[in-house]
Structure 1
Amino acid sequence: MVVAVIADIVGSRRLRDRAGAQRMLDETIARVEREHPLADQPLRPTVGDEQQGVYRTLDDAVTGVLLLQLALPEGIEFRYGIGVGDVRAIESAHRELSDGPGWWAAREAVETVHARQERAVPTARSWIVAAPGQDEVMDSEVSMGNAYLLARDAIVVRMTERERRLAYGRIGGLSQTALAEQEGITQPAVSKALRSSGAAALLDGLALFAEERA
């Protein structure tokens, strides 16, 4: 069992420079993967507005999605479908294809995010679906994970670009002093931004999610 992730660009048809946005996405994904190599198969463009990747564990996928959310520049967002289940390689005359329950679950998950955005939860950006046949423990972890993601996404969506950079830096282990130097502000200003933006709660929530699953 692995975790498949489908990332779908939010509002791609409204982007004025789709090619420029894709370059920015490619560069950001490459930077996040270089700094935090969590993916077994890093996100890569597939068809249309989608990227696909594979992670070894649910913790890695949930963390990887958050890092990318925080690293993306203002105006460019993904919605993320996270699918727990097996994936398999299928030989083709042209190239090796990836298929299996993990991908089907990820597709259902990204469609669920889209539906929630359109209805009652416009801040929703990510969702987890487990493929049929998982045990009761995984079913419980998926429910807990989705409750966490709903709250997490609501925080991230409302953060400024600077607040996202600060949160990203803290996940990477940078001190508040180092972040202050990076941003050209004072350390107390960094501390205040982390608290007022919800970034501190975001980081604690990520640690607790991993701890509960350990």
Structure 2
Amino acid sequence: MKLMKRTDVVVVLGDLVGSRRATERAALHHRLTGVLDDLNERWGSDLRVTAGDEFQGTVPTLGAASAVALAVRLALLPEHDARHGIGVGQRRVLDPGTGIEDGPAWWAARAAIDDAHALAGRAATRAARTVVRVADGTAVAAGPDGALNAALLARDELVGRLDARSLSVLRGLLSGRTQKEIAADEGVSPSAVSQRLRHDALGVVMTTSSWLEAVR
């Protein structure tokens, strides 16, 4: 995969899946804004909520975008879920005072989130939550059928199959906690955590995510 041009940016559009059915919408909004604040501090991004169930922002790299998508999902699942469209391309500022932007990167991200919605509407790919689109003329060869999207689709499928306990274990592992520490938190034996690691392919999710994060 070629590197992005210096003038290209990576943007993320996200929305909450089925948020209108949430009974505590204010609490969900507060939860999401807290997650985005944490991610901005970690990645140097500018993710922000733009409406009750939509958020957006720029991130440093494609790898950071993939990490953001997973982190938001893991922070909300199993009660709620999020869909992401990642766009790569150029942008232009329409209003410096308000920071309103548009341009190929944003258009690509909108097309990507529409792709994710369409994939989720098919039985075979209903777990799809994340798609990358690259605007015409950019230097990254990662269109809707590219390798990045294959990896993201596979990760979405694995994460979508996890129950609450396995999601908790995965969150712990990704935060750097040991299996022994996670077992103590969950009130189970270390062997039970190890079994979930193998049976639910949590190691595959972690390895895939690590490789995706390295994409620039």
Q: Under a length normalisation based on structure 2, what TM-score does the superposition of the two structures give? A: 0.86
Offset at residue 207 of structure 1 (A): 2.7
- Does residue 64 in structure 1 map to residue 86 in structure 2? no
Work out the CA distance in 2 between the residues paired with 1:140 and 1:21. 33
Whether contact under 8 Å (1:163, 1:197) holds in the other structure is yes
The answer to whether structure 1 residue 18 and structure 2 residue 25 are counterparts is: yes
What residue is the counterpart of 1:154 in the other structure?
Answer: 157
- Structure 2 SS opposite 1:60: helix
User: CA distance change for structure 1 residues 131 and 141 in 2, over 3 Å: closer, same or farther?
Assistant: closer
* Structure 2 portions without partners, runs of 5+: 1-7
- Residues 52, 194 of structure 1: alpha-carbon distance in 2 compared, 3 angstrom cutoff: same
| 1:184 partner amino acid | G
Is the Cα–Cα contact under 8 Å of residues 64 and 213 in structure 2 kept in the other structure? no
How far does residue 63 in structure 1 lie from its aligned partner after superposition?
1.4
Residue by residue over 1:172-199, the C-alpha shift from the partner in whole angstroms, topping out at 9 and shown as x without a partner, is 2221122222222221111111211221
Is 1:5 paired with 2:12?
A: yes
Identify which of 199, 205, 209 aligns with 2:208: 205
1:28 is aligned to 2:30: no
3-state SS of the aligned residue for 2:51?
Answer: coil
The aligned counterpart of 1:174 is: 177
* Equivalent in the alignment of 2:197: 194
* Secondary structure in structure 2 of the residue aligned to 1:139: coil
Give the secondary structure class of the aligned counterpart of 1:189.
helix
Equivalent-residue separation in structure 1 for 2:176 and 2:118 (angstroms): 35
> Which SS does the other structure have where 1:40 is aligned?
coil
Q: In 1, distance between residues paired with 2:127 and 2:133?
A: 18
For 1:161 and 1:91, the matched residues in 2 are separated by 43
For 1:32-181, what aligned pairs fall within 5 Å after superposition? 32-34=39-41, 37-41=42-46, 43-91=47-95, 95-120=98-123, 121-135=125-139, 138-140=140-142, 143-181=146-184
The residue matched to 1:133 in structure 2 has which SS? coil
Number of residue-to-residue matches in the alignment: 207
Higher relative contact order (CA 8 A, sep 6+): 2
- Structure 1 residues without counterparts, runs of 5 or longer: none
| Residue 87 of structure 1: how far off its partner (Å) | 2.7
Residue identity over aligned pairs, in percent, reads 35
1:25–1:40: structure 2 CA closer, same or farther, 3 Å change rule? closer
Which string of whole-angstrom CA distances, capped at 9 and with x for unpartnered residues, describes residues 149-187 of structure 1?
111101111112221222122222221122222222221
